[in-house]
Structure 1
Amino acid sequence: MNIKRRQFLLLSGISTIASGFLGWKLSNRNSLMETAIAANPVKKDLLLRFVSVADTGTGVRGQYSVAKAMNLYHQLNPYNLVVLAGDNIYNNGEIEKINAVFERPYQPLLRKGVKFHACLGNHDIRTDNGVPQVEYPGFNMKGRYYTFGQDQVQFFALDTNGNADWKNQLVWLEKELSISKAPWKVVFGHHPIYSSGNYGSNKNFIKTFTPLFTKYNVQLYLNGHEHNYERTRAINGTTYLTCGAGAGSRPVGRSEWTEYSTSNLSFATYDVYADRMEVRGIGTNNRVFDRGVIKLNSV
């Protein structure tokens, strides 16, 4: 064997080993990025644990897959509250479908006393303007927009549809935010404010809502409509989280303010403490694909 031949074989071998090592590192890095859900020891200062999901009401495989993952998470990390951010009944909000698209998929959670608090999506108002859903006890809606509190967290549910009573709703929202004594404020509606998905960011909503969120220290806004998962960095003190892949998915991109985005079927979880909120994105493979922390005062 001549020298050139030996050099070629030696270099080829080194290249193969290097490629294999690099491939292992990349594979290992990816495996570390996602971790299986597990029971998190309850810390004594945990105030509240809740879950959010949206665009669920199909009654088909995707919804059941997400619901199954939500139930497993509950078994390991109990919670008693789910924010259901609209499009609760496809395609036209027909309340007669409620068993197929809500009661049956989430039966294990409902039996354990988990309460769902819903808002109206654009599909929900196609039948009788969503009134049957507002009146349905399982959605725990006190109106088309309403507020409720749990521990030190106050939630504000909005009607973000085009035919909403915007004049009165905005007056109500500012009043409720101004008198709230809760250190944690979470607003949710169906439509996004910031989004890298199919519909993109809503300039009118940015102009309308973000000054109120900043003024009254709203730490988190939750929405659906975009069938994906996207978490922003804190924008003027508020984190915006889309959790609309509760039954189906669509592609999503990234923006300069995006912390994490994916089109995977998923839901989000939140552990609230006195000084921070720990956020996780969880897929139907029962793995945590995103972790983030929202500080109480993140301005």
Structure 2
Amino acid sequence: MASIRQHMFFPVLLTASVFCFCANPSLAELPRLKQPAKADNSLSFLVVGDWGRKGEYNQTLVAKQMGIVGKNLDIDFVISTGDNFYEDGLKGVDDPAFYESFVDIYTAPSLQKQWYNVLGNHDYRGDVEAQLSPVLKVKDSRWICFRSFILNSGIVDFFFVDTTPLVDKYFTDPGDDTYDWKGVLPRQAYLSELLEDVDSALKQSKAKWKFVVGHHTIKTAGHHGNTLELEEQLLPILKANDIDAYINGHDHCLERITDSESGIEFLTSGGGSKAWRGDIKRWNKEELKLYYDGQGFMSMQITETRADVIFYDVYGNVLHKWTITKDLSTAA
């Protein structure tokens, strides 16, 4: 067990604002992290979401295939699109679910890289600050989680956005669920500052590629449908700043929608464990390039001029792949 729980440390450069962010729930300025690209200025990574089920619902099988693909692509890191621990997040920093759903599941050598995590709605049902705590990084050096942050990696800027507080029903009609809103209230002030910071950061970005990562869907043919609050409040910011893709989880499927108006790719990678068979809504067939109602994950390999994206099923079979190209003369 010790060999599983003791991992090599892969350094990430954090600015001083990151440490201020841990102590102060006010956003002020989004934390900025740096993830070095390869020597040839390329980057490769995996994306998985909605996974934390202690190995159940094929989570271990997805993890196995992630390890194989991660080795073949020589990945630099992994992105999690949230709902990291079901059903109700972590109970605290000593919750064994951190080992049972993360440390002891993603054991392949290729996955011993940084994991950049956003929070999902199920994570907000537990002790949110446990997932944000540096104590977890001591337990496993891969773990990096903030509410919202920026990851700079040379040619790519990633903007991780805390989408759960944007959704009204979690506040107005939570049912039997209890949400941990410490660090979020007063809500309107939190959201106003968050959206302003995201807009400002996107405007300042000089990266060739700009990707935004959040838990909730914006455009989807899946179970949850479009998230109205994100359509109204976040999407206009994404369109105004000409991002390349919005990457999310929440719907337990694999999906690609290419918006015919803006050209933004809406990529859902929420197949890390439990999937919803046959749960699909009508969508414009010219925009819906992939909908897969099973478990799996996504990979991306990026250079200055192209991004190769692949979706895989639980057995490692390629479901869908395509290339996004960018003209160097206009990519800045």
TM-score normalized by the length of structure 2: 0.72
SS at match of 1:144: coil
CA drift of 1:293 comes to 2.2
1:266 partner amino acid = G
2:301 partner amino acid = D
SS at match of 2:226: coil
Partner of 1:84: 80
* Structure number with higher helix proportion: 1
Alignment partners' CA distance in 2, 1:109 and 1:178: 37
Partner of 1:214: 239
SS at match of 2:289: strand
CA drift of 1:46 comes to 6.5
1:156 and 2:159 correspond: yes
Partner of 1:115: 114
CA drift of 1:252 comes to 3.0
CA drift of 1:254 comes to 4.9
Kept in 2, the 8 Å contact 1:283–1:289? The answer is yes
Partner of 1:38: none
Alignment partners' CA distance in 1, 2:62 and 2:55: 11
Partner of 2:144: 140
Deviations 1:269-298 (A, max 9, x none): 011122221110011221101012223379
Partner of 1:286: 316
Deviations 1:74-93 (A, max 9, x none): 22221021110100011111
Task: Note the residue ranges of structure 2 that are not aligned, 5 or more in a row.
Answer: 1-38, 166-180, 185-189
SS at match of 1:204: helix
1:229 partner amino acid = L
Match of 2:66 among 63, 70, 83: 70
Alignment partners' CA distance in 1, 2:267 and 2:120: 16
Rg bigger for which structure?
1
Match of 1:52 among 25, 47, 50: 47
CA drift of 1:253 comes to 4.2
Alignment partners' CA distance in 2, 1:161 and 1:47: 32
Deviations 1:153-199 (A, max 9, x none): 11111111136531111011011111111111111111000011111
2:316 partner amino acid = N
Match of 2:307 among 269, 277, 290: 277
Alignment partners' CA distance in 2, 1:154 and 1:229: 23
Match of 1:131 among 123, 129, 132: 129
Deviations 1:217-246 (A, max 9, x none): 210111111000110114403101111011
1:185 and 2:215 correspond: no
How much is the aligned-residue C-alpha RMSD, in angstroms? Answer: 2.2
Q: 1:84/1:73 Cα in 2 relative to 1: closer, same or farther (>3 Å)?
A: same
Kept in 2, the 8 Å contact 1:228–1:252? The answer is no
Alignment partners' CA distance in 2, 1:65 and 1:127: 26
CA drift of 1:152 comes to 0.9
Structure 1 moving runs of 4+ over 6 Å: none
SS at match of 1:221: strand
Partner of 1:105: 105
1:166 partner amino acid = L
2:78 partner amino acid = V
SS at match of 2:108: helix
Partner of 1:27: none
Kept in 2, the 8 Å contact 1:253–1:261? The answer is no
1:93 and 2:89 correspond: yes
Match of 1:255 among 268, 273, 283: 283
Alignment partners' CA distance in 1, 2:273 and 2:53: 7
Kept in 2, the 8 Å contact 1:254–1:261? The answer is no
Kept in 2, the 8 Å contact 1:152–1:183? The answer is yes
